[in-house]
Amino acid sequence: MEKRLTLKVQVRQNTGRKPAARIRSEAKIPAVVYGHKETPVAVSLDKHDFTEAVHHGHRLLDVQIKSKKEKVIIKDLQYDHLGKEIIHVDLMRVSATERVKVEVPIELKGTAKGTQEGAIVEEHLDRLEVECMVTGIPERFVVRVTELGLGDSIHAADIELPEGVKLITAPDALVAACHIVAAAKSAEEAEEEQPATPEVIGEAEGKEAETEEESQ
């Protein structure tokens, strides 16, 4: 279940691109805390501490804003254009007694038996959206693919959920499939399969006639 971590944050007085860029240059991440019909608060997070929290699966956090401690969940992360560095965070206030909708990572484990026939396991979905108590957010869903044979697949509805966790992702959403990789076609083969474009005689003659009239 969800781990608990307390992070100290600093209130930001200035918002906008330039102040945010300055914060990032100081090894911090701009963020906003909102929800529960309270005024949103612009804050900054320690980049190292927050990144470590994300990498270790934390989504439910206690944040210390001045003298007040608030319970929040990580609602949204924005990354840079390379998809590596977190550049902004949305933190939503929650209470210990409410249910929330969150995305939980899927971790495929094991070697599918279909690989013995030359197949591969292709992952189509790396997380599930679920609804659960804020204090019972699963860290991840571990899916064993050992019995996955050639042509077999796993859908969202096939993943066993803990008690009290409700699936929000479409039940028929494809999570993983075991199949043979089609051999890449050569340029010559692709050209041979390409249907010839039929010549439109009437259209060609019409254009020639228009050209002759224009030249007269």
CATH code, 8: 2.40.240.10
Q: Would the CA dihedral through 170, 171, 172, 174 be positive or negative? A: positive
88 and 38 together in one domain: yes
Tens digits of residue pLDDT in 4-58: 678 888 898 888 888 899 999 999 999 999 998 888 999 999 999 999 888 888 8
Phi-psi region of 150 (alpha: psi -120 to 50; beta: other; left: phi over 0): beta
CB < 8 Å & 24+ apart, contacts of 41-46: 41/11, 41/65, 42/11, 42/12, 42/15, 43/9, 43/10, 43/11, 43/12, 43/91, 44/9, 44/10, 44/12, 45/7, 45/9, 45/89, 46/7, 46/8
- Whether 173 and 118 share a structural domain: yes
* Same domain membership, residue 169 and residue 121: yes
For 12-152, list the strands marked E by DSSP: 28-35, 38-46, 60-65, 68-79, 86-93, 99-109, 120-123, 127-133, 141-144
**CA 183, 177, 124: angle at the middle one, nearest 5?**
100
Q: 190 pLDDT band (50/70/90 cuts)? A: low
Of the chain, the percentage scoring pLDDT greater than 70 comes to 82
Return the CATH number at 169: 2.170.120.20
Q: Would 84 be classed as within a structural domain?
A: yes
Position 191 confidence tier, pLDDT thresholds 50, 70, 90: low
Q: Same structural domain for residues 119 and 160?
A: yes
Output the pLDDT for position 38.
Answer: 87
Both 47 and 111 in a single domain?
Answer: no
Count up the domains in the chain and report the number: 2
Please indicate, yes or no, if residue 202 is contained in any of the structural domains: no
Residues 101 and 164 in one domain: yes
Residues 116 and 33 in one domain: no
Amino acid at 176: A
* pLDDT score, position 158: 96
In a shared domain, residues 58 and 145: no
- CA quadruple 133, 59, 124, 150: dihedral sign: negative
Domain ranges, residue 150? 97-185
Rounded distance between C-alpha atoms, residue 151 and residue 117, angstroms: 11
Per-residue pLDDT reduced to its tens digit, 85-143: 999 999 999 988 899 999 999 999 999 999 999 999 999 999 999 999 988 888 899 99
For 134-189, the pLDDT digits (tens) are 888 888 999 999 999 999 999 999 999 999 999 999 999 999 999 998 765 555 65
Query: Are 84 and 156 found together in one domain?
Result: no
Asked if 83 and 130 sit in the same domain, the reply is: no
Angstrom distance (rounded) from CA 158 to CA 173: 10
Residue 216 lies in a domain: no
Q: Are residues 77 and 106 in the same domain?
A: no
Mark which of 40, 75, 94 sits at the end of a domain.
Answer: 94
> What is the pLDDT, as a whole number, of residue 208?
47
